[in-house]
Amino acid sequence: MSRVVFLLIPQVHLLDVAGPAQVFSTAADLGYGHTISYVSEEKDVATVQGLPLRADDAWPDLGTDDFVIVPGWRGPTRAVSTATIDRLRGHHAAGGTVAGVCAGVDALGRAGLLNGRRCTTHHTVQDELSRLYPEAVVVRDVLYVADDRVVTSAGVASGIDVALHLLRTRHGPRAAGQVARTMVVYAHRNGQAHQVSVMFRHRSHVDETVHRIQDLIDARFTERLPLGLLAETVGCSERTVTRLFRTATGTTPLGYQTALRLERAEHLIGQGSTTEAAAREIGFEDARMLRRLRAREQAGKPRSPVRR
């Protein structure tokens, strides 16, 4: 069972902690187990909202499957000890994933984890982040960014999006979809579409029939899923399935499945897989189709951000 460790800094924002923690707690309730820990340099942690928190002052042993999340605090920067910064740097160097929510991204910057990587933070402190870490590639006004096991977010409610992203990388889109629906956070709220999960782009509806179809596709997106199978699953005609799906999501069942495949492939490639290996992992016989899909997706993206 993997571990999720929240590093709490004094004057932390409650929602930056509670939102992601709720995601992993709900995931555990649904059978996707994680051990959640809270650490801090001091056991009593003051919050911006006035509710004090209690944390351990000793770190647990961490493995490569574990996540470390740094929630945000008031203001762009906070004093963080060298020992804590070394913990963050060491966990990533050992193959672990580190995430920063809102101003918590600053701790990742101090650890050198933003150098040469794309990252984001709350729009009110983006300029300060660029000034403090000139080697970072700051992506502005997006929900979250993932780059080589370093995940950064705009903060506040987008901490939930980061946690769902982490859950999806570990357990797949079906798990993330189940948790999102349980928490009633399907909607795509803001940010560039290509940096927001397929789940958020196409689950912002209340059609339960379409959600059932999507649940099946989420669970088996690497397989061939004929329209007839989807229709049989929900007891509708193929024409009705296509109509309902397009009305609810703006795309077709095949389009949704293809988007899931591409999202998974991009994650695998970002983690070091070859295009050929990623293509096989998502159910393609060879890499040609994946290359075409990636080229089509890239052609539709906005201009890449400049290094600031």
Please report whether residue 109 resides in a domain.
Answer: yes
What domain range is 285 assigned to?
197-303
Residue 189 is predicted with a pLDDT of 38
113 lies in the same domain as 206: no
The reported pLDDT for the residue numbered 8 is: 96
Give pLDDT < 50 ranges for the chain. 187-196, 302-308
Establish if 191 belongs to a structural domain.
no
Cβ–Cβ contacts within 10 Å for residue 186, how many? 17
Domain count, the chain: 2
- Domain at 168, CATH number: 3.40.50.880
Q: Which three-class secondary structure string do you get for 195-256?
A: HCCHHHHHCCCCCHHHHHHHHHHHHCCCCCCCHHHHHHHHCCCHHHHHHHHHHHHCCCHHHH
Considering the domain architecture, whether residues 89 and 144 belong to the same structural domain is answered as yes
Let me know whether 170 and 218 are in one domain: no
| pLDDT recorded at residue 27 | 95
Residue 25 and residue 137 in one domain: yes
Question: Do 21 and 159 share a domain, yes or no?
Answer: yes
Where does a domain end: 183, 208, 238?
183
Predicted pLDDT at 180:
86
- Do 106 and 78 contact (CB within 8 A), yes or no? yes
Dist. CA 63–CA 34, nearest whole Å:
13
Quote the pLDDT of residue 202. 83
Residue 192: inside a domain: no
Residues 228 and 239: their CA atoms lie apart, in Å, by: 10
Q: What is the DSSP string of 144-176?
A: EEEETTEEEE--TTHHHHHHHHHHHHHH-HHHH
Task: Give me the pLDDT at residue 271, please.
Answer: 65
